[in-house]
Structure 1
């Protein structure tokens, strides 16, 4: 089935002009409509004049709030990010030692260039975090900082917050230190390249021990009850002149690198708890009733749940999806989807100056206390977390401006997280609907994820959508497309009659 041709003057609002794909004229998802819906700037790099002026001065080093720095330019470090990334928050170096491992983790030092109470500070508090849309980001900071002066690019000495974490041979933390430093990244690497080098037995010397430490830290995470869903991750990517949805494949290197970031957040959280001041990322421990329901679902689907096993252990043992819905046991996909009920209630908790830490500071999804400190270019709260840890490590009281700022941050970040999730889902929904427009009535193969509300995940294209009918989770099924609206992003399936 083809869509009728339309010109720019008569197309429905919320869709971009159609494009040719052979005989198929499929609408292009209109991300400008998403920006308008959520009040985002058409050009995300546009900032108020006063903010840009302040950022330019900071990039030039004028008025930077900087103090003594350790010269750590001899520490081997590299960045690992998606190809083409310029907003490089972290540089990592991991070495094997006689007693275990030493991790050096350099973090972009935004605290040294953002003046508290200034125009730039006010703007980034308003934005909360970088929002990523398929056709361009809405950055937290002006690019002169996030992609240049404050980014850990491999072009010479860079100011950073440098963590040193010593671990034993089993990956347990022995000692931690953090301070301002000058660092030098040796290379800007990407996940695919690092994975290929590891597979070939020739990793970059700066991260030669990552393939050993990463799995150790992951095993410790499972042992303490960290829940990793590992559901297929949808992403919107270019497809010729238009857009499509695909499943993003996570490499082992990406998981290992994430463990280093989680490690740093955990030691930062412990520093804050020991001092009685800071800001934690919180998530309640899984509710026993939710765990019991998940166990019943797994057993109903014929999956194994050994006596005494935790949800983390059961999920870690499931087949890992490498591609679309047909790339893993459909029962495993259904259980992973059901496990999302274990991860509800994420928030932030500020404490200090008479406000006690949370009664249960452990983050349910991680199984340990955790604080955001590793992505200050892209997330507001990390700058403040780093400043707390720097003060504590130096034996100083947290500055008054910082103590005054902490109570407002949970609300700012929660609102920003909600907006980011809604923007991401809106872009994906519109792309899914555009891919399927004109195919109403066709049947597709999919995996049933939930019974109520009904939900299926298709193999091709990889679409997640509502479905009507008497559904059996964990089963493959033929489903019929009954609605695909690129304007609203609404996609709906039903079991065939």
Structure 2
């Protein structure tokens, strides 16, 4: 599910640190790992890979492309021409090499489910010895990986896909900015990186984007929100996404779709699913567009609108942040885990509505538990071998585990957004803003309605009270109180 990218580009003020610590405690997110888990991870990191992958692909000049400062490097990429088409090689970190099924580490990552990200740091799924060490595809290190070979025709359509265990070696850890600069103006790349990599990434990425549009899929160009400090206090800004980020995302989507088709063919695995957007969420998003001054004609679908927006425009960036609500209802579906109990039961949804295809999570095993299992199903299918028992045993419970842990991560993210928006607003207590009522609570108390209002070009949201809250209408609201540690802001409607 897309998430709001929120970063604190200043030292965390004490009241924000208090808010985040209270939030972490409320959600029972453990900031560290038990000693036995750390010890098991460190022992696995120090041991040679077992078994050693039969395929040696260390001669392929892979590179990783990630945000600056990343250490948990899940994927490494190489693209080359292949006849009239292209060969995309995508190496994915092999956590199955390091995690013993049923061990202390395995039990801990099942409890965590996902890496939880926040504006002041992350709570990783795996201990650093693995997530930022032996399992990460760091440059100039031989690493076991799931090596995907994806053959595309000249139009970018997938012709054939295969995955197998291999040893790989990344030549460089690149940032999106480096790749974009190398593409745009010939900026220098590290020694060993193929000079045509940026152009090939663009070519394949844009072909896949064209295919995405044709099938009715949509990728959210979600910018990073930044909280910065100036002479007047804290402000909320957005960093526009780079084209290279979109090109790179298409490689991950391509791999996830190939994995889903493999698992459907095998009749076993786990899919990422999403129902069509709830009309109520679309209506709420239309109200957000109105608040931001974005024209959204009634006959235009949200996927058509999204393709017209530019994350470099602040109001568009804010809208793209809010568009993540259309991805509510995403879940996981385990395949091959038993028959339906009722012959008349409705067939489960197997598709991802936003991607407009079957899709599976396989490209982020350092940060997401389910990927480790899906990768192993695909490897076994391609090898013509039985899916390991430890995978089959876990599959029935994976959707529940991922639902529980993803809800917790999303709750932390929402709470962090609330805290930082309160920080930005606290110097404006007593001021009056233009806003739009997004939604209201059921009923009223003491003749007062309560709901949610969006204000300003950054679409900052807060609680609002008033005798009449006309949903979807522009209103004038006064900011009456802010409490950063409690992550609360309150507006009231004024004449």
C-alpha distance in 2 between matches for 1:123 and 1:249 = 36
Counterpart selection for 2:65 from 80, 91, 106:
80
Partner deviation per Cα, 1:24-79 (whole Å, 9 max, x = no partner) = x99444222222222223xx3x31121112111111116x5424331111212111
Partner residue of 2:482? 484
Q: 5 Å matches for 1:67-146?
A: 67-146=52-131
Q: 5 Å matches for 1:72-471?
A: 72-201=57-186, 204-230=195-221, 233-235=224-226, 245-286=236-277, 303-304=296-297, 311-316=302-307, 318-325=308-315, 333=319, 337=322, 342-355=326-339, 359-444=348-433, 448=436, 450=438, 452=440, 453-459=451-457, 463-467=460-464
Q: Normalised by the size of structure 1, how large is the TM-score? A: 0.82
C-alpha distance in 2 between matches for 1:56 and 1:490 = 41
Partner residue of 1:6? none
Comparing 465-474 with 416-425, which one deviates more in the overlay?
Answer: 465-474
Shift of 1:156: 2.6
Partner residue of 1:3? none
Shift of 1:224: 1.4
CA shift in 2, pair 1:107/1:229, >3 Å:
closer
1:79–1:189 contact (8 Å) kept in structure 2: yes
Please list every run of 5 or more consecutive structure 1 residues that lacks an aligned counterpart in the other structure: 1-18
Matched, 1:54 2:40: yes
1:225–1:310 contact (8 Å) kept in structure 2: no
Shift of 1:493: 3.0
CA shift in 2, pair 1:128/1:296, >3 Å:
closer
Shift of 1:200: 1.1
Shift of 1:229: 4.5
CA shift in 2, pair 1:464/1:323, >3 Å:
farther
2:222–2:241 contact (8 Å) kept in structure 1: no
CA shift in 2, pair 1:134/1:359, >3 Å:
closer
Q: How many residues matched?
A: 459
CA shift in 2, pair 1:231/1:71, >3 Å:
closer
2:288–2:454 contact (8 Å) kept in structure 1: no
1:154–1:186 contact (8 Å) kept in structure 2: yes
Partner deviation per Cα, 1:135-166 (whole Å, 9 max, x = no partner) = 22211111011111110000232211110101
Partner residue of 1:10? none
CA shift in 2, pair 1:289/1:148, >3 Å:
closer
Please list every run of 5 or more consecutive structure 2 residues that lacks an aligned counterpart in the other structure: 1-9, 190-194, 341-345, 441-450
Partner residue of 1:13? none
CA shift in 2, pair 1:89/1:171, >3 Å:
same
Provide the secondary structure at the position in 1 that maps to 2:428: coil
C-alpha distance in 1 between matches for 2:358 and 2:410 = 23
1:95–1:207 contact (8 Å) kept in structure 2: no
Provide the secondary structure at the position in 1 that maps to 2:387: coil
Q: Normalised by the size of structure 2, how large is the TM-score? A: 0.82
CA shift in 2, pair 1:98/1:130, >3 Å:
same
Shift of 1:252: 1.1
C-alpha distance in 1 between matches for 2:60 and 2:437 = 47
C-alpha distance in 1 between matches for 2:165 and 2:281 = 44
Shift of 1:486: 1.0
Counterpart selection for 2:28 from 31, 39, 54:
39
Shift of 1:175: 0.7
Shift of 1:340: 5.7
C-alpha distance in 2 between matches for 1:424 and 1:144 = 25
C-alpha distance in 2 between matches for 1:219 and 1:86 = 32
Partner deviation per Cα, 1:210-251 (whole Å, 9 max, x = no partner) = 1111122122112212234446553557889x9864324211
CA shift in 2, pair 1:345/1:73, >3 Å:
same
C-alpha distance in 1 between matches for 2:134 and 2:244 = 27
Shift of 1:310: 5.3
CA shift in 2, pair 1:119/1:211, >3 Å:
same
CA shift in 2, pair 1:488/1:193, >3 Å:
same
1:375–1:382 contact (8 Å) kept in structure 2: yes
